Amino acid sequence: MNNFSNRKYIIGGIFILVVLIFIIRLFNLQIIDDTYKLSAENNSQRQVTQYPARGLIYDRNGKLLVYNQAAYDLMLIPRQLEVFDTTDFCQLLGIEKLELIEGIAKAKHYSYRKASIFLKQLSSERYAVLQEKLYKFPGFFVQTRTLRKYPFKSAAHALGYLREVTNQEIKSDPYFRQGDYIGKSGIERTYEKELRGEKGVKIYWVDVFNRIKGSFRNGKFDEKAVSGKNLHTSLDIDLQQYGELLMQNKKGGIVAIEPHTGEILAKVSSPGYDPEMFVGRAMNKNYQMMVQNDSLKPLFDRTMQALYPPGSIFKLVNALVALQENVISPATRFECHSGYHVGNFTMGCHSHASPLDLRHAIQQSCNAYFANVFRYVLESPKFGSVQDGYTAWRKHVTSFGFGSELGIDLPNEKTGSIPTNEYYQTKYRKNWRALNAISLAIGQGELQITPMQMANMIAAIANRGYYYIPHIVKAVGEDGALGKKYLEKHYTSVDSSNFTPVIDGMEMVVTGGEGSTGALAAIKDIRVCGKTGTVQNSDEADHSVFVAFAPRENPKIAIVVYVENGVWGSRYAAPISGLMIEKYLKGEISENKKWLEKRMLDADLINQAAAPSAGVVE
């Protein structure tokens, strides 16, 4: 038929040859090579996940904040179950027979062949007893895991907690298996990937009695677990604990930042909770209790999620904006007659000498002065209209980090808001007047700012015009450098020369003698600069606020203290700020301020009426 007909033999030969090679290979794999074979006894393998140790967390001085302790989960593979002595079993574990039956049913529902958790987190005593008798209960085995342990029982909001992964999380990240833990808040969540490490697996041969017969193929297919990386935080745990102590029985927050790095030294949200409450089997119960039954919302992080009007501390920003726009000079004086009066409009003020210049107006927190300053900016002829003036004002204000996320390495940061020109145009009319927004002059009205943003503002003032994004982790792992984002300076739109008169005023707030609103924040030998704030609160007592940094030259700490219902800034926030700064810079509180420390510790704004006034009026 064809000249090439004989080639069918070559092609057929190739086919037969390949199949022959395959059969020889199969012969070798299945019959000669013993390594692949299972003896009759070793009838199944067990894959035991090797859980990596989660990374440890340290404070800025190398003190250990979070470490791991062993816990034991009793696992069950329903397919391997055999008849066993249930009474003995229940006694060993201290469970009811009904729990046993339900547990087995649940495991069967999950999978016949895959292991699922039967009982979580056995104590080590129970584990010791159980281990010896485990051979009597085929199908059960123990898996070691680790739980978090907190030696300081502090900084719960910043550290965050772990929770068992949900089914949804298992679906979205193939790393997770049922019963794994994931960081749900704080740095446990932000740095989840770095902290968790990599799981390993050990494969064992197991006989029909569930006894381990040795490593599978000498561990050739095992994978070692890789420990998570340690986190070195910027927290000063002594300062943090002291802050929590001062804030006991009060609602509010403290944020302390190291201005020249943006590192968060302390971050207190009060009331807080003991981080150990979210560890182990008690977690779900405690969580329910805190979320549903506690009206004080201890889980709510007031430093980053609470939106407050800033009050008088915002006058600092208004002063800086006005100086930058050149609409006032430090020597500009305005009169105050117990308030600011225009036509029918009145904004009250306390009684003090009049007229004042900028420095004294900051010292005495004169409302009328800043109402004038605010109008000077908005109504300045160089902008043409109040609306354009406002937009320019807003641009300066947002350059301090207000109204948007700062980008902190902690989850759930609130943005807050600075109203826009459009907002007022909708609320009033297209050509609204400066008086419509006058409450912004004294930090009231529509401003919504988190204590973290306030702390960032005071850090920017301490630096005379720039800030680093606040962050709580200094280094990931032993040599891990910080993300580039936290090493960049962010400049405000105010020139550094304009900060001097404002800082002069701030120093006078603390140590300016008569009329100083923040005298209780003073510390011997340290030049503290601060500003009080009292935030009007229509329904309840006013909030007490204080921002400060110290020392004046080359500042080491910038701080904000916000005490809900603390009435005046001078009453609680200023003394607490002073104590915090002293604690951080000197390590201890001097004898002559012990009375003040005691008063702060004793003050109970949640259960009792406010403590008597410190005698200084704002």
Partner 1 sequence: MTRKVSLIKNLDWWTIFIYVLLVFLGWINIYAAVYNEEHQSIFDISQRYGKQLMWIGAAFFLAMVILIIEGKFFSAFAYPTYLVMIFLLVAVLIFGREVNGARSWFEIGGIRLQPAEFAKFATCLAISRYISQFNFKIHKFKSLVVAGVILFTPAVLIILQRDAGSALVYVVFILVLYREGLSGIVLFVGFLSAVLFIVTLLLAKLYVLLMILGFSFVCLKFMGLRFKQIIIGLSALFIGFGLVWGVVKALQLDVSTYMILVISVSLNIVPFLYYIYRERLKNVIWVLLIAVGSLFLTFSVSYLFENVLESHQQERINDLLGIESDPSGAGYNVAQSKIAIGSGGFSGKGFLNGTQTKFKFVPEQSTDFIFCTVGEEWGFIGSTAVLSLLLLLIIRLLFLAERQRSPFSRIYGYGVACILFFHMAINVGMTIGLAPVIGIPLPFFSYGGSSLWAFTILLFVFLRLDANRMELLR
- Interface residues with partner 1 (CB under 8 A)? 2-5, 7-8, 10-12, 14-16, 18-19, 21-23, 25-27, 29-31, 33, 35-38, 43-45, 47, 79, 112-113, 217, 220-221, 223
Distance of CA 267 to the CA centre of its chain: 8
Taking the least distance from each CB to partner 1, the nearer of 34 and 132 is: 34
Residues 6+ apart with CB under 8 A from 484: none
Least distance from C-beta 30 to partner 1, angstroms?
A: 4
Least distance from C-beta 80 to partner 1, angstroms?
A: 11
Least distance from C-beta 551 to partner 1, angstroms?
A: 56
Residue 69 tokens read as 């302790």
Angle, vertex CA 616, rays to CA 614 and CA 618, nearest 5: 125
Least distance from C-beta 1 to partner 1, angstroms?
A: 8
Least distance from C-beta 85 to partner 1, angstroms?
A: 25
Residue 184 tokens read as 């749900």
Least distance from C-beta 58 to partner 1, angstroms?
A: 32
Taking the least distance from each CB to partner 1, the nearer of 15 and 175 is: 15
CA distance 368 to 506: 18
Residue 499 tokens read as 């900060």
* Helices and strands (H and E) in the chain: how many: 19, 20
Q: From 69, 579, 549, 8, select the one nearest 313 (Cα to Cα).
A: 549
Least distance from C-beta 209 to partner 1, angstroms?
A: 16
Taking the least distance from each CB to partner 1, the nearer of 23 and 487 is: 23
Q: In what order do the strands lie in the sheet with 543-550?
A: 263-270, 252-258, 557-563, 543-550, 529-535
Taking the least distance from each CB to partner 1, the nearer of 41 and 602 is: 41
Taking the least distance from each CB to partner 1, the nearer of 13 and 348 is: 13
Taking the least distance from each CB to partner 1, the nearer of 6 and 293 is: 6
- Give DSSP secondary structure letters for 35-61: GG---SS--EEEEEEEPPPPPPEE-TT
CA distance 373 to 388: 16
Least distance from C-beta 11 to partner 1, angstroms?
A: 6
Give first-to-last CA distance, the chain, whole Å: 115
Distance of CA 121 to the CA centre of its chain: 27
Long-range contacts of 163-166 (CB under 8 A, 24+ apart): 163/278, 163/283
Taking the least distance from each CB to partner 1, the nearer of 45 and 227 is: 45
CA distance 407 to 452: 11
Taking the least distance from each CB to partner 1, the nearer of 212 and 289 is: 212
